[in-house]
Amino acid sequence: MTVDLLLGLQWGDEGKGKIVDVLTSKYDIIARFQGGPNAGHTLEFDGIKHVLRTIPSGIFHKNAKNIIGNGVVIDPVVFHKEIEGLAKFDMDVTSKLFISRKAHLILPTHRLLDAASEASKGKAKIGSTLKGIGPTYMDKTGRNGIRVGDIELEDFKLRYRALADKHESMIAFYDVDLQYNLQEMEDEFFASIEELKKLTFIDSEEYLNKSLKEGKTILAEGAQGSLLDVDFGTYPFVTSSNTTAAGACTGLGIAPNRVKEVYGIFKAYTTRVGSGPFPTELFDEVGSAMAKIGNEFGSVTGRARRCGWLDLVALKYAVQVNGVTELYMMKGDVLSGFDTLKICTAYKYKGKEISHLPYNIEPENVEPVYTEIKGWQADLTKMTTYDELPKELKDYIEFIEKEVEVPIKVVSVGPDRTQTITK
Ligand code: IMP
């Protein structure tokens, strides 16, 4: 069988958690392939809101197996808390959650290094979630990292010590004021490692490829968004992994010719958390209204998200880089009530109008060119069929489809599983 991908096409927080949750009943296996606890996938059903950090969103479905792939970075402390959170709902995850031995571990000192690095950058800081993501991937590509499989080795603690000591000297090099008690952090870390050991570690590329041969279906669940991809995002204001389609192949050990559908998730408008360029950002009451109605606060850090109009230049770019076959438009309901909506269809870049994403989209280089579209007033949250949607929203959807040349298959009109309209 084949693998389908589900990816965020903007700067993250598109609502992937909800869609994976809606889709999971169709799949035997849900796999995370990159990122770590910087992600916060929100799912809402039966009146309860769940935020998942490292665990795939298929965990709430009875029959789905959930894999944390080699491309993911795991913080045992955060992970343990996540498992405890699920236990409150009587969920025993041990029979349906498997972790790649090749996934890398986030050490307490990785978190400290993240904080030290950001503090040293002053105004140029990335706006990292400070979960240790960047330093852990640096150790991975620098060939110094510690992997989940290393926990099973006799000299695990020695390996840990050697790397943590090196990190401590690096932290000193940054020469910033950082208060911490490493002993406490390490006690918590090693206690969480014992908890992690209760789960099954696997060679996930073997598991997944064998499952494909057996006819099983796999959904690869992306974290963050395409514009945060370390290669194709708004570098250096990006995360440290490949959030785009190719990341699913390297992060799971699945060959490109196994990938079939690529579901691209985007919000009907745009948000960004953290620093970095954002051409369609709004600094007026319209942006504040989007933030308020859309409850745009980060699920991991609680930070307010920056809001702006939909950027089709960026969306087309993400669709192209990922080979998106179907689009899912989220938070359509948040745009109800605006008289006029704007969609960015081109950039003025160094005096010329362009319709692709250039090397540098800093505000001094790029000015968005907008098309105006009539808004709609109806409350969409109780609507259940495409026919019921207001004509203006259908016009908005058709405009996007025409520009991007990929069909919008689903329109989400609220956070709950049930508020999902299939076109
Ligand atoms: P890091 O990956 O925590 O180092 O953060 C790097 C950048 O990516 C920062 O701008 C973060 O705000 C952003 N980021 C990381 N994870 C997410 C996410 O799940 N949603 C939205 N933005 C994210």
Asked whether the beta carbons of 8 and 239 are under 8 A apart, the reply is: no
pLDDT above 90: residue 49: no
| Residues within a 6 A CB radius of ligand 1 | 11-13, 38-40, 126-129, 131, 133-134, 223-224, 228, 237, 239, 273-274
- Model pTM score: 0.96
- The pLDDT tens digits for 59-100 are 988 889 999 999 999 999 999 999 999 988 888 899 999 999
Cα 9 to ligand 1 centroid, rounded to whole Å: 14
- The pLDDT tens digits for 208-243 are 999 999 999 999 999 999 999 999 999 999 999 999
pLDDT above 80: residue 299: no
| pLDDT of the residue at 20 | 86
Closest CA to 249 of 34, 28, 23: 34
Query: Which residue CA neighbors atom 11 of ligand 1 most closely?
Result: 128
Provide the pairing of β-strand 3-8 with 218-221: parallel
Cα 273 to ligand 1 centroid, rounded to whole Å: 7
pLDDT above 90: residue 300: no
To the nearest 5 percent, what fractions of the chain are helix, strand and coil? 35, 25, 40
CA of 130, closest atom in ligand 1: 3
Return the beta strands (E) in 191-331 as ranges.
200-202, 218-221, 259-267, 270-272, 306-308, 310-311, 326-330
Closest CA to 281 of 292, 269, 293: 269
- Mean residue pLDDT of the chain comes to 95
Hey, what's the torsion of the CAs at 373, 374, 378, 379, to 10 degrees?
A: 30
